[in-house]
Structures are given as C-alpha cells and as structure tokens.
Structure 1
Amino acid sequence: MKTMTLRIIWRMLRILSPRLSRGMVCLVVGASLLVMPCKTVAQLLFKPGEPYVNYAYESYRAYDSIFFGRDRTPQFDALGQFVMNGINVFELQEFRSISPSPGSIIRKPFRYGQYLNRLVVADDSYKGVTTRFIIGDRVRAKFTPLTLDLAAMNGMRLDSHFKGGSLVLVTSRIDKPIFEAIQNNDHRIHGSEGTQFIPRWATYLMGADLRTQLQGLDAGVSWVNQFRTDSLRDLDENSFKGTLPSTGVPPQWVVVRVADQSSADAVGARVRGAILYLNGQPHRPELSAYDKLTPDRLTLTVTIDPDRAVIPPAARDNSNSLVIEQVHQSPTPQGFYETEGEDALLLWFKVPSTIPGEGALGEPVQEVEVELEVAGDYQLELSEVFNGASSNPATYFYTAAQSEGRPSMGNFRRVRVRYGRQTGRTLVSAHVNLDIKGWMLHSEVVRNYSFRAYPGLNRRALEVFDDQTHAWFINARRDVGALSIGGEAYNIDGRYSTALNVQDDDLRSYFQFLSSPFSYPTNFNEPRLANFIAGERASPTNTIEFNTVDDNDDKDQYPDSYFLRRTTDLATGGRAIEDPDGVFPGLDSDLNGRPDINENNNLIPDYYEPFLLYNVNPDAYDFGEDMNGNGVIDERENDELPDYPYDADRRGFHVFGEMPIPGLPEAKGSIGHYRTTAPFQGGEAQVSYLRGEIHHRFPFVGSLLGIYKLKRIEDDIPDPVFGLGRSPIYLEPDVLPPESLSDEERLNPLGIPVLQEDPQLFRDSWMNRFYVKGEFSRVENLHIDVSSRYDRNRQQSVAEQSANTITDLALVARADYTWRPWRKLRVIPQVKWMSQQLGDDDGTILEVEERFFFPILRVEYPISSRTSIKGGAQGFPFLESTYRNDISPDVDFDEKVYLVQLNNTSNYVGYEVNVNLGFERRQRRFLDRSRKDQDLDYHRFFLRVIAGLRPLF
C-alpha cells in the first residue's frame, strides 16, 4: 500500500515538474513520507472471522427484529426527501381517472397487523394547540348520540384541542376491505393495482365536530357525511351527496309494497288508482300478469307477499330470465286491493329504460314516481328488481310513505312517492350541554338528509333528490338545595336513520374466498336477509348497510351487530368485530369489561354454574326500572335498534320532582308524569308515578334498602327486545325443558336470542312495586343478605285486556362465613336459597313456582406464596343441592358437585402464568325416574394453563 502511494505521488510530480523547482519537489515527497504509516504488514491467507467478546463487561446488542428490522429500507416522501429507514405500514390512494390506474386503493401490509396491532398514533403540540392523529381498524369515535357513535371505526381521526375548544375530524373508507385477507395481506387481495379486486367505486365516511369546552359549558356543531364515490368520474362529479356506479343496468321493475303498518290492530290498508310517472310524464300501466314474451309492455302485476322479506321475491327461470312466479291478484269488486295483518301486497311496475323522445333510442328514464290512492294504516315501501349478478337481484325495501296514527279504512288519499337508490346521507347537528350552579341542560337538534338517485341508463347525469327528517331532544334539571325539579322533551321522526344502504355487485368477487363472510352458508354480511324467500333459498344480494350509530346495548368494544363479523377460518387472521362474548346490557357493575353473569366468558350464565352461582341472580330475581312497560329492566334491554337516546318514531315529554321525606333524612320521594306517542306506528303511553326510597345504615350491624313505586300506566306501544325464552339454562321460567336437549341446545347453553314481542301487560293498569334488601355484618367474617321483590299488576278491563291481577314474588337469601382454624387454612361455608312465585287470576300468563337451595363449602390452604390447594363441595350426601318446581314437579332434581385443585401462579418472560390441576365429581339425579336419561354422573380430571398480565388495579 505504501509503495503504491509513492508511485502515485511521483507521477503527479513529473506532470507538474516544469512548473515546480527541485526543492519544492523534495519538500512535497518528504512531507508525504512523514504523514504515512511506517509499519508494513504482509498479506496473509488467514481469515480471522469475528473476534472473541465477553459480554460480562459490555451490554449484549440484540440482532434486528425478524418482524421489522430486516425489512427496513430507505423511505422517501413524495418530494423525494429522505425520511427514515423503515417500511410502509399503511397507504391510501384515490384516483379520479382511468389511467394509470382507476380505483380506490388501501394497503395494510403484514407488518401493520402483526407489528403495530392495526393501530398507529402520531401527536404534536404547537403554541397551545395539541393534536393527535390516529389510524386504526378499531377506533372509538363519538360526536353526539344522534349523529356518530361507533365502537370500532375502521379509519382515521384527527383530534385537536386548543384554548376554549376542540376539533375532531374523522374519515373512513367503510366498505372495502370488507373482511381481512389471508395472513392479513390486505394490500394483495383488496388493494393492488394489478388485482381484479381493486375497488372502482367506494363508500366514504367523513365527519367533523367543533365545540367550545369551557367550565360547565359544552356547545358545538357536528357534521357527519356518508357518500358513494366513483373513481371513473372526475373529482367535480363526485359530491358529498354521493353518486352511483357509472356502469350498471337499469331496473326492470320498481316494486311498491303496501303493508299494514301495525299488524296487531284491527285496521288494515287499501290501495287503488295506480299511476306511473316517467320523467314527470304520467302513464297508466296495464293491470295484468307479466309475460316475458312481451317485456316492453307497461304492466302492473299485483301479488301477495306473506314473508314481508327485505327484498321482493325476484326469481329466474330455466333460461335465466327474470320472472314473477307469484300469482297475479285481481282487485275487489269495489276496485281496490286490501291487506291486513302480516300479509302484504306487492305492486310490480314494469319500467322501461327509455321513453319516446329525441334521438333514435329515445329519452333515458331518469326519474320514476308512483302515485297511489291509499286508505287505512298503510306503509309504502320501495325496491327495484334489475338484471344483476345475484340469483335474486333486488335492492332492499325502504319506507317512502306511511300513515300517521291509526286512520280509518274509508278515507282514501293520494300519495306520490319517488324511487331512487341511496347515494349518501348527511347529518348536521347542534348541541348545548350545561352544568353550572345547580342548572343542568342537555340538548341536541339534528337535520338529516338522505340522498337518492334513480339508477337509469345514463349514469353520468344523475338527478339526486333528498328526503329530509329531523330529531331533537332537551333534558333540563334544577337543583335547589335538596329539592330537584326537571323534565325532558323529545321528537324523533319515524323515518329518522343514520344508515346508508349500498348495493354493489363487485362484492360477488369475494365469494370464492372460504374466509369471506359473503360465502354460503355463513352469509353474515346481510343479517336482515332471510334464509328463504317465497320458499326458495335466498342468495346474497351484494348489499351492505353502514350505520354511523352502533347498536351496542352493553357499551363494550364490540357492536351488537355489524356488517363485518368474523371470517370463517381463524387461520386467515379473522378478528371478531361483532360482539363475541354476548350482549349483556347493564350487567357490568364492576366495570371490568366482562358481564357480571358470565365472568368466566364460557357462554354459560354464572348463576347456573357450581360455586359461581353464589354471587349472581337471574333477572327474574333482581330489581330495576321498567319505564317502557315491556317487563324487562331498562338497562338490561337488548334490542336491534341503533343506540339513539330515544327510539325513532317517538314524541313525548316527562316532568318530575324529587325531595327528601320530612322526618326521614335518609329517605327521598319523587313524583312524575310522562307521555309518549308513536306518530306513525300509532299508540300512546301515559304513566304517572310516585316513588319512595330509603337507605339506612345501622352502625356495626348492617344496612337496609327499601324502594316502593306506585304507577298508573296506560301503554299500548309495543317495545320488543331480544330474549332467551324457555332456555334449559336460563332458569326462566324453568331450569330444564320437558324433553331432552337438542344438539343445538347442547352447543349453545345460553340459547339463541330471538326477538320477543312485548306482552303488553300494562294497557291499563295500576302497578305496585316493592323491593327490600337487608345486609347483616355485625359478626366479624359473617355476611348475611336477604332481598325480596314483590310486583302487583292490577289490570283494568279495556278492549284488548280483561280485568286481571298479576303478582310476582321473588326472594333471595344467602350467608357466608370465613373461618381460619389453623395457620393460613381458610374454611368458607356458604348457603343460598332462591324462590319465585309468579301467577295471575285468570291464567293468561305462564305461572312459575320454583325454589333453589345451594349448600356450599370452600377450603383453601396456601402451600407457598405461589402454590395453594383449593377444594369445594356444592351439595353433600346428607344435604344436597335441590331444585323444586311446584308447577312441573317432574323436573325436580338433587345435585352434588365435588372439586379439588392445585393452583400455581408464576412469572415467565414478563407474563403471569397460572396452572390449575384438579379433579371434579358431579352427580345430578331427577326425582322423576322418567327423566333418568337427563341425569348427570361423571368424573373429570383437568389441567389448565392461563397466561396474562398482572392487573394494575
């Protein structure tokens, strides 16, 4: 190396020598020799490799992570400036052209899910403004209860807070990807330019919430917009009103369903005099059956619809042509059609794609309206049938007009409705919340715009029209010392909705994936689509409904219903979006994220599991308010409606007053009256009530809680909720069915929730409710509590209700004592007894007379700080657990359960690891030997390992 360097210097000096003196050349050579190393080392063939290192004196440096470090490459921004060495974890692109690549593209690579757990958060602060930017698949988003309330938004939100106020912006491409790809490779299945699944059109959610947040004052405005976009159109052709795909086929039929709005009453609906308007021009269709040999005739075919399904029963014949298979109906001699009860009428209007006009092909149909003469309690719903990709290509029915109240059948009126597919929905809201010096105010007003357009032949010139609804409410309360007065008023339109209905035949491309929720038989993406329509298996219609307010009655991180549930194969990386642990509203009093009646999350209510049953009771034994009179505790209701503060089609008010009871400082009384009407559905609920409550503590002895409520109720508005009915596990009204369990019942111990009709037991009633609970804690380590609830419903004689008295008495008593006889040994005897008696005078309800008795003994002994031995017995040879039913004595049984286990809790790589090794012996014997096949008698050995993190609180 040294020799080579000298040669280079010498050659350079020869080139420059004519201009340099000899002395200067010598000086340069000498200086070069001084600065160069003098030691020379011979080149060896030996390969030394990595040196020896002892990590006792220096920290060990780990290799780059396999999941992240080895994939890092230089990353640049759009201007070509270097950002960092890293990887792409999320990318969104929106094209508004055909070239180079049309469509809406989202990439969520593997590292987005595996390394970042599908959540990215960035933050900054500047001159008093704090901002946080969030991207995630499950982002909590709420503006107001009537506009935006999502437990798991798949999108982005930007939160800014400044002095005196805040601003929140949200956006989401809500329709695609609709499910997670194999191994979480979303970008390869849902978003690559080279794949056939690139979305050409998409649906977006955008929203903004601006509010001032001062001490005691919260006021602001909100804007929420859902709209459909088309990447094949220019940017100025895509507005917040939305659009329809630029490619598609026009409808062949516009279908009007005429239904009895309230099937339970005695008033039906009548219809006659149909007129079809095409681009504003009236046409009287020919009343006849459809003939596919003459498809251009403007016909009106009338059929019976017994199913009232979400779509009309469109069908295809052997030649794949769309036909109407139902029999055409003729009108009555008076010239009208009539329906009452569950059956409905379907009016099939054959619509052309063009009408005579300018040009050789005529004028494209851009507007379709139907005018009818209707009478009675009618409801008009609209749908279309088109030659799409599905076996039953139709759009969902939507309500376009309905009668108010319960009018008579004789008065006809003309009603005109316009058909269109939904393109967008906009919600504009203003709210004021106040809590200052004893004044409380909570209010909101919303204007709701639903945009629609007819999907005609010319999709480039859509005529978008809107249907406006509104909603408002106000709650006020004034506290003056111990006196409180207040009230509320509200009005939610009957057609108020926060949903956007999207029909997209491109969704059929997902059918070939076994992990898709669109694949038969797990057609989870269309929960409102029946399994059978007109006796035929229903195929997916490629429709998704997006709602900006969740149905999330139990207020957990999972919506009760969602368009994306769970992929069928867990190996594909599917996640649970729809509630995987069941819906248990109002049953998480300790706020630990688990329902109180199912703490171990095994789908079996704890009140039926040995040992766990000591701490929980079935709903029939608990007390709670029932303001809507459907027999279910309000905070435990599970319905199928979005969680608005008031149901749609409700209008009313409520006034109340509350004050201490003189002479009883620990008691208070309240009086109130509320009235609710259902303007479209019909019906009214009026309730006047008087309530007294006392909660007294006896020092060193215990406490006593007493509640009495007297109500005068006149309520004929039905409020259906989900229930489990006569489940073999649920204990209401009996613990076991009269026959052996089916395979489905064995696999689903909680049963399958079904929507149960409101029994409407308070059409005209005087209701007395009394609840008392006492606790005794005078003796150390001894705890006793007894509770009792008594209801008496004295029904008055009205049109649909006879005079009757319904009584319900439920009692629960339990006691436990902790005894430490030796060292750390703990012996805990427990006993619990429950009884319910439900009956009436004339036998119109299902009576219940049952009793439970559970003697329990627990023993615990810690061997060390990590290991302990535990044992328990529920029932003994001399004192068994018993169930007695006086109405059905053949279901009486005795039961014994014995369990012993070794429990160890250790730390391993930062996790808490618990090991349970044990043995269980269980016996259940029915007293009626005709049920001996339902006896239980088994031994069970078990080993269970649980890993988790130590709770912080």
Structure 2
Amino acid sequence: MNVRGAILTIGLALLVAFQTVLHAQNYGTRLGIQRGGEVSFEPRGPGVLFGALDPAVQRWYVPQELYYEFRWRQWEYSNYARDQYQRYINTNLEGDYFYDFFGNYINRGWLVYDWRQDQPQELGSGIFKGSQFEQFFSSVTVSGDSRGQYSYAITVGNAIRTTLTPMTFSKPNFNGVQIDFASDKYAATVLASRINDPAVGVTINPRRQSNSTSLFGGRALAQVGDFITVGGTMVNAHNANTALDMFEGNLLAGNLTSGQTSTPVTAIAIVLSDDSPEDEAGGAALFSHDIRIKSRDFETGLETVLTLDEVVREGAEWPTVFGGFPRTGFLAADGTERIILNYDFTDPAYVGPDLTTIVEVEFDYVLANDFKVEMWSNLQTGTRPVPPPPLTNQVIEEAEPVLIDIRRASGNIKDISNAQRVLFNYGLPSANMVAGFTIEGKNVWGFDFYGEWNNNLRYFQYPNAALFNANEGHEVSTESGQATIFNLSKEAYPFFTYGEAYSVDADYSTSAFVSLPGGDVFYDDPIRSVYEFVADNDDQDRRPDWARVGSQANDREVFPGWDENLDFISDFNQNDNRSVPNSIPDYEEPFLRYHVDRPEFLFGIDLNNNGWIDRFEDDDLADYPYKPDRRGYNVFFGVHLLPEARLLVGRLDERMLSDDRDNQTSYAMFTLDKDYPGFGRVRVFDMLKRVVDTIPDDRRAPLPFLDAPTPPLVADMLFFPDTWINTAWLGVDYTAIANFEIVNKLKYERYNQAQDEARDIDGRILAGSSSLLGLINKFEYKLHLGRFLLQPRLKSEYFRQDAFVLAEEDLKQWTGIASLLAQVPLLNSSVVDFGVELAQFNELVQQEEDMVEQGVAEETGDLRSAVFAVQLTNNSNYLGYKLTTQLGLRIGRTFTELVQEVEPRVFDKLTKGRTETTSFITIYAGL
C-alpha cells in the first residue's frame, strides 16, 4: 500500500469514529464533571448556552434527555419504518440523586430512612421508612467504621435489643437509632427515637407530626486502671411541639403539646387518702392548707403572687372540701375515705387572677400519718370523659377520673409523729428523666463488685395558652425518686460470699407519658400513652410481656424458666404450637405424662416467700434487679464441702418504704449434685428458713397453653408472717444397667407458724403446722428384639398438701400409670408405633362411703383410663424438602366414679364411662 492509500484509509477510519462519537449517548453531568483527577457531582445550576444566542422568533427548545439518549428532535418528522421505536426506560431504576447539607453529592439510589426535626415549624417532626428498609434490610441497617482500637456503629431498626443499665433502660424491641463507640478503655452509646410514633412498617410519605415525644439517652464508660470501670447514664423522654423554638424553655422538661394548652385550667382537685387502706387506721391527716397563685400581665410582664386569703371572697369558702373525719386539730382520711379539696377558678367565691393569666399554682399543706397525695384537673384527659367539678368521693368511684400521684408518706405512721410541710406545684407531666452513674470492679483484692445510683426526675408544667402562643416556656416543677444498688462477691475456694444492698424509692419510675398525634395524652391508657424505659420481660424473649407504646400487642406466651430447650414453647406443653394447638399439659396427656412431672414437684429459691420459685415468677413490673418501694440487704457465706456439694447461710432483711411492712428471712442451704459410677446420679437440696414476711408479692399465673386467655393475677396471701419453713428435695436416678432406668423424686416441705392464731392478709386463721409431700417413682426399660423395640414403663405419683388456712380442705391424691410402647420398622423409611397406657387416679381425701351415707351426689374424684394408639410414620424427600407423613388412630376410654341417687333417698357408688377417639393424617415439611 502506498502512502496515498494509507492516508485515505486513516481518514476513513477517523470519519467513522467521529460519526460514532456524534451518535453516542450524552449523559450530560449525570456521571459527574471531571476536574483534574477528581470527578465532581456538586450542583452547579444551569449555565448559558452561547450557541443558542440567536435572536430568532421561532420557539427553540434546548435539547434534553430525549435528544441525547434517543436522538429525537422535536422539529423533525418521526418515522420508525427502518429505525424501530425504542420504548422509554424508567429513569428511576437506579434511584434518585441525593445531596447533603453542604451540596456534596451523596449517591444515586433510594431513600431508606429519614428522621427530620424542623423547629419552629408545624408538622416539623417527620420520619420516613421506605419499602427498601423493610424489604432489602429486614427493618434494620448497620453502618460503622473502625481503625486501630477505635470502632463505632450506627444502628437503625424497628426492634433493637438495647440495654444501658438494668435500672435505666433495657428493652428487647427498641425502635430508633443507636450509635455506639468503643475503644480499649472507653465506650459510649447514644439512643434517639420518636417514641410516640417511631413509624413501624413502610411509610409512603414522611409521617409528620407537630406534637411528638422524643427520647434521647446515652451511656459512657471509662476504665480506670486495670480493674475499675466507671460510667454515667442518662435517659430523657419529653413531649414537644414543633411549632415552638426548641431552645426556648427547658430542653430536659420539653414542652406542653397543643392539646394540653388549648384550654385553660378551670379546676384543680387535690385528693388525700390512706396509703395503706387495708389497715383502716392512721390515714392522711390534714392540719392546714394554703395556695400560692402566680399570675402575669402579658403586656407589661409584671408577675404577682397571691395566697389563699387574698383570692377568696370575704365570707365565702374556697376551696370546697369534701370527705374526711374531723379529729382534734386535723381532718383524717382512714381506710377508703378521701379528703378532696376542690379549687374551682370559676366559682364565685374565687376572686383571684383571671385563669388565663395564671402561670403557676403552688400548694402548701401540713400533713401527717400515712398520707397519699394525688391531683386532678379538667385537663387531665383519659379514656373516659372528664367529669365537671367539684370532685367528690362518689364522682371518683363512678366517673373514675385520671388522678396523678404526687407524694406519699414514708412507712405507715399512725401517731402523727411525722407531721410535715408538703409543698408541690400543679402541672401536667411533660417529661421523665433518669440519670446516674455506675462503678464496677473486677478482681479488686479478690472481690467483684457493681454499684449504681440513679435519680429520677418527673417534670410537670402549668399549662397557659398565652405562654404557648408566645413561644415562651411554662413554669416547670419536678418530683424525684432515687435508686441505689450495690453488690459484692468473692470466691476463695472452698469459701465464697455474696452481698447486696439496695434502696429503690416508691416514686422511682422509668415510665413516660407520650403524646397522641393530636396533642392529647390519655393518662389512664398505658397502651397508647405510656412508654417504658425498662420493659417487663420476665421470660427474656424478644417481646415485652405487657402492652405499652411501641409494643401494643403484649406477649401472651410468658413462662419464665419453663423453656429450657429454647424453642419458645413451654416445656410443660411441648406439643403445643400455633399450627396444632394443644390445651392439655404434658403431665396430664397420655403417653407424655410419664416423663413430665407437674410443676408442684419443682424446687428452688423463694426469697420473697410467695409460694412460687423466684426464677419461674411472672409479674407485671418493670424488670429492675430490685423492686421499687424496697430497701434492704441480702448476704450469704458458703463453703464447698465437696466439688459437688456446698453449704451456705445467709440473711435477707428488707422493708417497704411506703408502708410498715418488711421481710426478714434467715436461711441455710445445702446442695449436692453428684454422679456415682456404677449407680447413677444423686441430687439433694435442703433449705431451712425462718421467715417474717408481711410484704405482698403478687404474681401472674403461668400460661397453660398458647391460645389461653391472659392468666389471672395470683395474690400473695402472706401465709408466712412468722414461720419456720424447711424445703427438702431428693432425686435418685439409677442407670447402672444398660437400657434400664429408675427415677425417684421426693419433695417435702414443712411449715410451722411461730405465732398463735397467725392470720393471712385477709385475716383468716392459719394452720399452726402444715406440710407438702410429693413422691415420684418411675421405671423404664428398653428391650431391643432385632429391629423391634419394646418399652415397658411404670410411674407412681403421690402428692399431699395441707391447707395453709384452717377453713380450707387438704389435698391428697395418687396417680399410677402403666404403659407399653412398641416400634416396628417397615421397609427403609417407615416406622409403625404402638402404645397402650393404663392410668388410675385416686382422690384420697374424700371418702366415697361418707358421700353415700350423707347423700352427696357428685363425682368422687377417682377415675381410671385406658388408651390405645397406633401410628405410621414415613420420611421422604420431595422437591428439596424433607416430608414427614403420619397417619394414626388413638382410642381412649375413661371411667369416672360418682355417687348417684339410684332410688328415692337411696345413694350408691357408680362408674360412668366415655370414649374419646382421634384419627389423623398429617404431613410436615422441613429442610
């Protein structure tokens, strides 16, 4: 090829390349603008096209997307005969463009989560959760970074397991933002959430509010030396209105909502009552009362304070007082009686400042004995209508207005020796805060310890519409409560010791009132208007036990300590689930009841002496380490007698702060758990206690099955006012012979009252001595005959419990069970199971002969049953799943013994039978 040809070829190639470039897609600045070695995406605004500066009258459009991507010109004829039409492509397939506060390009993608608070502005609080937050990230995102020893993470989720300290903040389902930092010696956490509506699920548009309740909190830790760690904690939840300036007023106290300030306070009532009404004596004693009313001239700013004498018309009575018993020098409210002081600002007897100018109301009372102070006003809304003033005892009983606790006396004084001046302000709750510090030591001179002190402040503000409209802060008052806990332990084998001391005020609270979207607060509706910093989660699962804001559906599957295999099902009803409900507990169900013993045979520690083992206890209280309204200590010392045996002695001494009740328990405990080669396992537990307990600790009954209604509360009847209690449990498992097992369990409890004619909480006379005896003997043998398996089983269960109350009947019964199981393999993956069970139940207290003689026509309590069952099980693989198919039949015949009138005034013992059958074919699929 000559030079001329080469030049021609190169020219043609350049021309083709130039034409290709001309027809390539132009993305403008969507892929950024390169300046030097960097690509910039910052917004620059539109520029001036010098090529378009022609003074022509004809309308001309700047080429946009259709021109650069599809070569479409608006002035040309469109014909798709040869160049076929290309459909529009969604320009948002890759999301939107996002920029930060400073104009920096963030990315092109999707808005997953956005929480913004703009103040002052109506509807200034908004939360957005896109569908990607739920679908892509399963409602939780985690961002973080680390370098060297420093790490931090930002977690946003609908259900975050979060704990600062057990006394301040602990929830299994925190919905909000958690920011964590950690280094070798320091750690910190920040929490934030709009707790009245954190937006659960997908929000198509931002969920905006003017009235909101925000939570902010955190914890910081610092290691001091090698063994000590100190920390600080603060959690604050406050109501706010975004139309107000955030920094106008008290940030910690928050603001009153528009619903709380839309109307003025027209009436206030102070209710004095007996803090321990059950004793019907020594209730609230009112010696004197005064009031100070502060008003403001909003034009001049002048504030005036007037007392009671200055705001009452001469010759009139104000406030109006209802209830109470006149005593020498004071008015008393004993038992269920109440003293109600009504301050009606619309009453003609009131001649004080106009109610729209009042900015603060303070009460000055002199009280004594066991008083409780509650307050009410026309602005304290609830699920029921607000009654008109005046408030009376009858109105309180019938209308059930919302009363807010303010103060209560310490102890249960009845001789007016605690006469005191009580000052408090009226206000609506606006915030709740808990703040404190912790100190923890590991192996400090051989000791481990942990201490925590917290102060709880409840904020109140007096509502005034003029202050709200002027964007000014309201007058703030506070009520406080403290909590202090400390525990210490040391292990110096074979010796060990543990001690704990605690004081938690009755007014210590981690509950915060939250605002509804309209600004109202339903103070008597915890499901919609109460948020808990510390949840009630006795079974320690992912759902709180009670229904509150953020967890409106309470956990009904609560059985603390009864789920040792961690399958979220009670171990006493293992075959119960949502797909196949079963309401019969395993210890009463045929074939299953051989291995499962009833809860009465369990043993353990019961330091609150309510007749229920502490670790199985379900209550309706926040899960603090120690209950509110308690102060006391517990200490024990012990020694390991053997590696498998230990002995300890200790004492618990605690009292209620708001009542004259205490729990003094001295105890000694011995435990042994040892395996003996060639024999089996031996377990021994014995605990001797001297109990003086007058503190009621109510609990909730365990859930019998998943679909059961909410279990009732079980009252602590205080059966042990001064009692010696000995609990002994012995377990012997014989496993020396292969395929042969004998299980024996013995439980014996003895109660001896140290007082003559001791009484329970209802005043009933208790038995001087009572006992509980339970004995279980079980025998099982597995006989292998080739591929066949036979299992003969025997079980005997004896249970006797004396009544604690003299007027109640004892319980005595025996159950005997004999069963035979057989298993026959078929082919490769099929098995046939056969089972026969015979059971006898005898009620040993009621004598059938006496019932016949006395003409009592009813069941005697004795019964026997026979059950036969056959079942075919097949395991197969199908479409990647493991299928288990079962079909079978169970037939049961039960014979109940009863006394009937066979002839006029002639009674005899008869047996009545009934037959129950169950047939089924069931298929299960698994992986």
**Displacement of 1:718 after TM fit?**
1.3
What percentage of residue pairs aligned between the two structures are identical? 23
**Displacement of 1:683 after TM fit?**
1.1
AA aligned opposite 2:192: T
AA aligned opposite 1:376: N
Counterpart in 2 of 1:882?
841
Output the CA distance in 1 between the equivalents of 2:152 and 2:877: 39
Output the CA distance in 1 between the equivalents of 2:630 and 2:530: 23
2:632 equivalent among 639, 643, 652: 652
TM-score by length of 2: 0.77
**Displacement of 1:642 after TM fit?**
0.7
> Is 1:610 aligned to 2:590, yes or no?
yes
Output the CA distance in 2 between the equivalents of 1:338 and 1:278: 26
Superposed CA deviations along residues 374-395 of structure 1, whole A, max 9, x for unmatched, are: 3332211223323869652488
Counterpart in 1 of 2:75?
none
> Is 1:856 aligned to 2:819, yes or no?
yes
1:831 equivalent among 794, 806, 810: 794
**Displacement of 1:298 after TM fit?**
8.1
**Count of residues paired in the alignment:** 795
SS in 2 for 1:810: strand
> Is 1:369 aligned to 2:362, yes or no?
yes
Counterpart in 2 of 1:764?
722
5 Å matches for 1:422-437?
422-436=429-443
Output the CA distance in 2 between the equivalents of 1:255 and 1:721: 34
Output the CA distance in 1 between the equivalents of 2:409 and 2:324: 24
Counterpart in 1 of 2:613?
633
Counterpart in 1 of 2:271?
257
Output the CA distance in 2 between the equivalents of 1:932 and 1:173: 68
**Displacement of 1:760 after TM fit?**
0.9
Counterpart in 2 of 1:721?
699
AA aligned opposite 2:771: T
Counterpart in 2 of 1:32?
11
Output the CA distance in 2 between the equivalents of 1:902 and 1:206: 59
Counterpart in 2 of 1:706?
684
SS in 2 for 1:237: coil
Output the CA distance in 2 between the equivalents of 1:563 and 1:34: 75
Residues 373, 845 of structure 1: alpha-carbon distance in 2 compared, 3 angstrom cutoff: farther
Q: Is the 8 A contact 2:211 2:515 kept in 1?
A: no
Output the CA distance in 2 between the equivalents of 1:620 and 1:665: 29
Residues 249, 860 of structure 1: alpha-carbon distance in 2 compared, 3 angstrom cutoff: farther
Superposed CA deviations along residues 817-869 of structure 1, whole A, max 9, x for unmatched, are: 3332232x433333333222111587245521122333334444454775544
AA aligned opposite 2:120: S
1:926 equivalent among 871, 875, 896: 896
AA aligned opposite 1:452: F
> Is 1:340 aligned to 2:334, yes or no?
yes
> Is 1:231 aligned to 2:242, yes or no?
yes
SS in 2 for 1:506: coil
5 Å matches for 1:370-389?
370-386=363-379
Counterpart in 2 of 1:484?
496
Residues 251, 119 of structure 1: alpha-carbon distance in 2 compared, 3 angstrom cutoff: same
Output the CA distance in 2 between the equivalents of 1:486 and 1:388: 48
5 Å matches for 1:311-326?
none
Counterpart in 1 of 2:262?
248
Residues 797, 391 of structure 1: alpha-carbon distance in 2 compared, 3 angstrom cutoff: closer
SS in 2 for 1:112: helix
Counterpart in 1 of 2:652?
674
**Displacement of 1:226 after TM fit?**
1.4
> Is 1:941 aligned to 2:916, yes or no?
no
SS in 2 for 1:927: strand
> Is 1:621 aligned to 2:601, yes or no?
yes
> Is 1:814 aligned to 2:790, yes or no?
no
**Displacement of 1:84 after TM fit?**
4.9
Worse-matched range after superposition: 605-614 or 637-646: 605-614
Output the CA distance in 1 between the equivalents of 2:915 and 2:310: 72
Residues 846, 370 of structure 1: alpha-carbon distance in 2 compared, 3 angstrom cutoff: farther
Counterpart in 2 of 1:167?
188
Q: Is the 8 A contact 1:791 1:808 kept in 2?
A: yes
Output the CA distance in 2 between the equivalents of 1:95 and 1:106: 12
Output the CA distance in 2 between the equivalents of 1:285 and 1:805: 65
Superposed CA deviations along residues 115-144 of structure 1, whole A, max 9, x for unmatched, are: 432222223222332222221111100011
Output the CA distance in 2 between the equivalents of 1:156 and 1:861: 58
Output the CA distance in 2 between the equivalents of 1:223 and 1:841: 47
Residues 46, 619 of structure 1: alpha-carbon distance in 2 compared, 3 angstrom cutoff: same
> Is 1:794 aligned to 2:772, yes or no?
no
AA aligned opposite 1:33: L
Residues 787, 718 of structure 1: alpha-carbon distance in 2 compared, 3 angstrom cutoff: same
**Displacement of 1:438 after TM fit?**
3.8
Q: Is the 8 A contact 1:439 1:477 kept in 2?
A: yes
**Displacement of 1:555 after TM fit?**
1.1
5 Å matches for 1:120-131?
120-131=141-152
Output the CA distance in 1 between the equivalents of 2:80 and 2:613: 89
Q: Is the 8 A contact 1:483 1:658 kept in 2?
A: yes
Counterpart in 2 of 1:441?
449
Output the CA distance in 2 between the equivalents of 1:225 and 1:603: 44
TM-score by length of 1: 0.75
**Displacement of 1:75 after TM fit?**
3.8
**Displacement of 1:470 after TM fit?**
1.5
**Displacement of 1:278 after TM fit?**
2.0
Q: Is the 8 A contact 2:815 2:839 kept in 1?
A: no
Superposed CA deviations along residues 706-752 of structure 1, whole A, max 9, x for unmatched, are: 1222211111111111126xxxx96xxxxxxxxxxxxxxxx987554
**Displacement of 1:793 after TM fit?**
0.9
SS in 2 for 1:243: coil
2:213 equivalent among 203, 207, 210: 203
Q: How much is the aligned-residue C-alpha RMSD, in angstroms?
A: 4.1
Residues 935, 446 of structure 1: alpha-carbon distance in 2 compared, 3 angstrom cutoff: farther
AA aligned opposite 2:783: W
Worse-matched range after superposition: 381-390 or 401-410: 381-390
SS in 2 for 1:484: strand
Q: Is the 8 A contact 1:353 1:456 kept in 2?
A: no
SS in 2 for 1:235: coil
Output the CA distance in 2 between the equivalents of 1:114 and 1:906: 34
Q: Is the 8 A contact 1:690 1:710 kept in 2?
A: yes
AA aligned opposite 1:496: Y
2:547 equivalent among 551, 556, 562: 562
**Unaligned runs of at least 5 residues, structure 1:** 1-23, 51-63, 193-197, 289-296, 303-327, 509-524, 530-539, 568-576, 731-746
Output the CA distance in 2 between the equivalents of 1:143 and 1:611: 47
Q: Is the 8 A contact 1:380 1:402 kept in 2?
A: yes
Residues 507, 170 of structure 1: alpha-carbon distance in 2 compared, 3 angstrom cutoff: same
1:894 equivalent among 848, 864, 868: 864
AA aligned opposite 2:308: H
Q: Is the 8 A contact 2:590 2:867 kept in 1?
A: yes
**Displacement of 1:231 after TM fit?**
0.5
Counterpart in 1 of 2:302?
none
**Unaligned runs of at least 5 residues, structure 2:** 18-78, 295-304, 388-400, 760-764, 848-858, 901-908
Residues 596, 433 of structure 1: alpha-carbon distance in 2 compared, 3 angstrom cutoff: farther
Residues 557, 934 of structure 1: alpha-carbon distance in 2 compared, 3 angstrom cutoff: farther
Q: Which has the larger radius of gyration?
A: 2
Residues 541, 426 of structure 1: alpha-carbon distance in 2 compared, 3 angstrom cutoff: closer
5 Å matches for 1:73-84?
73-78=95-100, 83-84=106-107
Q: Is the 8 A contact 1:260 1:268 kept in 2?
A: yes
**Displacement of 1:764 after TM fit?**
0.8
5 Å matches for 1:488-499?
488-499=500-511
**Displacement of 1:887 after TM fit?**
4.3
Output the CA distance in 2 between the equivalents of 1:298 and 1:69: 77
**Displacement of 1:90 after TM fit?**
2.0
Residues 923, 557 of structure 1: alpha-carbon distance in 2 compared, 3 angstrom cutoff: farther
Counterpart in 2 of 1:695?
673
Q: Is the 8 A contact 1:251 1:387 kept in 2?
A: no
Output the CA distance in 2 between the equivalents of 1:869 and 1:284: 92
Q: Is the 8 A contact 2:194 2:214 kept in 1?
A: yes
